[in-house]
Structure 1
Amino acid sequence: MLAFAGSILLTGCAVGPQSASLFDLGPLHTQGSAATETPLPAISIAEITAPVWLDSQMMFYRLNYDNNQQPRAYATSKWTMAPAQLFLLRLKSRLSQAGGVVVPASDGAVNLPVLRIEADDFSQVFDSAHQSSAHIAMRASLFDGRTLRAQKMFVKQLPAASADAQGGAAALALASDAIINEMAVWLATLPAKK
């Protein structure tokens, strides 16, 4: 009987922790792309910088009703890559889809303005246990060499359909697309390089 109980215990340990659910921003659709009436300039896009706590695959949330100064991570839900990387891939695809010419800054394209983005927030915020929203804050700076041509802060908050990781991921995808569309309009309306 003791041997049987020991084998059940070992079997339970072999199962191990629950595997993580992986999320990204979903497929890129042609509808709702970053369309502008003014053509987009050709630009280089640098890697997006993010604070250390946000530079990982962890999906973060905050509890406004408990302690909104404490970012927390879902235990069994993660991004497929860091949110800044997901946003960057989406941005490049959307701008290209809208007719823009996009070159990675690492390729060293000469005479192209460089778009640098800093991610300040990319998280799900709970106002109660049953109500949450996506929060994204990005600061975009367009440089000509070392000269700052323009800078703008983009902030978006959208409600999540459900108060869980899946609802947060979907709302963050919609908020990302909304910010990317706003960035495209901003880039298209900037004065040309003098």
Structure 2
Amino acid sequence: MTTTIRNGIMIAAMALALGACASKGAPTSQFDFGPLPAAAPASASSIGAIIVADVTGPAALDTERMHYRLLYSDARQSRPYAYNQWTSTPSQLLTQRIKASLAQAGVKVLSTTDAAASTTVLRMEVEDFAQNFDSATASSGVVRLRASVFRMHRLVDQKTFSRSVPAPSADAAGGARALADASDAVAADLLGWLAALPPSKE
């Protein structure tokens, strides 16, 4: 690698870091997942009523801060955007999005307070929710979660879902869009999996 190319990469990385550490007093931008996209036709009649527990995950997802990783620099370091954040925690956004997606498909979505109305419970744990930069100008939104279905307190099935969607821009806005699209893709995969499970006998 020539000195010129090496210096160019360093400058690009520094520019990205400086973008996360904007000048003091800069306005904060807030992001969510946007409107729910139109659902593709799906057969959800076999799912019946299901209790959807709140999504759980690492402590880092219990804050509105937006994070990214520079895979080409140090993939082990999660960096926060200085003046960009979610409107609520990623765990809450995922919970709301998945419930809305299931309901849109015709599933009767219940909360944990409706325990007497169904014996089927869906629990989800996020393993990854991040904007990953492969270079200073290219990133992807990655969502990976493990879903478990219980009936009468017994595990019926468990599966891990993972989606990666390229970001339209190398910034927080692009990351928010990519993570929203990745979350919707996971929700669609989750719906297909639930519909394929043996129907409840309740």
RMSD of equivalent CA atoms: 1.4
Matched, 1:171 2:178: yes
Alpha-carbon spacing, 1:91–1:35, altered in 2? closer, same or farther (3 Å): farther
* Seq. identity, %: 45
CA offsets per residue over residues 107-130 of structure 1, 9 Å max, x none?
323433110000111110001110
In 2, Cα distance between the equivalents of 1:154 and 1:63? 23
For residue 193 of structure 1, report the CA deviation from its aligned partner.
3.1
Given the alignment, which residue of 113, 128, 148 partners 1:141?
148
Given the alignment, which residue of 3, 18, 27 partners 2:26?
18
In 2, Cα distance between the equivalents of 1:94 and 1:38? 11
In 1, Cα distance between the equivalents of 2:30 and 2:75? 25
Unaligned runs of 5+ in 2: 1-23
Contact 1:44 1:115 in 2 (8 A): yes
**TM-score between both structures, scaled by the size of structure 2:** 0.83
**TM-score between both structures, scaled by the size of structure 1:** 0.86
Given the alignment, which residue of 131, 134, 146 partners 1:127?
134
Alpha-carbon spacing, 1:126–1:117, altered in 2? closer, same or farther (3 Å): same
| Match in the other structure for 1:96 | 103
CA offsets per residue over residues 73-123 of structure 1, 9 Å max, x none?
111100000111111111111111111100011332343311000011111
SS in 2 for 1:108: helix
Trace 1:59-98 onto structure 2 (pairs within 5 A): 59-98=66-105
SS in 1 for 2:116: coil
Unaligned runs of 5+ in 1: 1-15
CA offsets per residue over residues 124-160 of structure 1, 9 Å max, x none?
0001110100010110000113210010000011111
For residue 42 of structure 1, report the CA deviation from its aligned partner.
1.3
Pair member with larger Rg: 1
| Match in the other structure for 2:120 | 113
For residue 47 of structure 1, report the CA deviation from its aligned partner.
1.0
In 1, Cα distance between the equivalents of 2:197 and 2:83? 43
For residue 38 of structure 1, report the CA deviation from its aligned partner.
4.6
CA offsets per residue over residues 151-173 of structure 1, 9 Å max, x none?
00000111111110000000111
| Match in the other structure for 1:8 | none
In 1, Cα distance between the equivalents of 2:200 and 2:185? 26
